Amino acid sequence: MFKPILLVEDNPNDLELTLLALAKTHLANDIVVARDGQEGLDYLLGDGEWRERVPGNPAVILLDLKLPKIDGLELLQMIRANASLKTIPVVMLTSSREERDLIRSYELGVNAYVVKPVELAEFFRAISDLGMFWAVLNETPPGSPRREP
């Protein structure tokens, strides 16, 4: 069984487009959706509605920057501070072109910062490339297999 991809996105339009783009890549990974930062954290920690989920970390987290409850930067900081989560690849997938957001994301340990393209074909291509790279091509650290046992 392949590790899931965790998508943390609150904008319904961006969420729908991202899910469509990922579906077009035909990845075997399930896509888990969290609609705010707290829900994303709950998934990662197996808390709240995710208490009964199969244990294990996602292959990658696609994280929006501007989120309700816990924003993307706060969630990234929590992920990097947690020993069992800190090696998960995190891609900031955002519409923010603010230099301070980019710099702060890298200071907190993001693996990649991708600005959502405005043009639909570019958006689909970017999401497809992200999914393929992080879920299939990226090598994970020893002890964190691409597939769950």
| Predicted local distance difference test score (pLDDT) of residue 147 | 41
CA distance 98 to 93: 13
In this structure, the strands spanning 60-63 and 112-115 are: unpaired
Domain spans, the chain: 5-137
The tens digit of pLDDT for each residue in 30-76 reads 999 999 999 999 999 999 999 999 999 998 999 999 999 999 999 99
pTM value is: 0.85
| Predicted local distance difference test score (pLDDT) of residue 149 | 40
Residue 23 pLDDT grade (very low, low, confident, very high; cuts 50, 70, 90): confident
Higher-pLDDT residue of 130 and 23 is: 23
CA distance 76 to 16: 23
Dihedral Cα 85, 30, 39, 72, nearest 10 deg: 60
| Torsion over CA: 122, 34, 3, 109 (sign) | positive
Fold of 5-137: Rossmann fold (3.40.50)
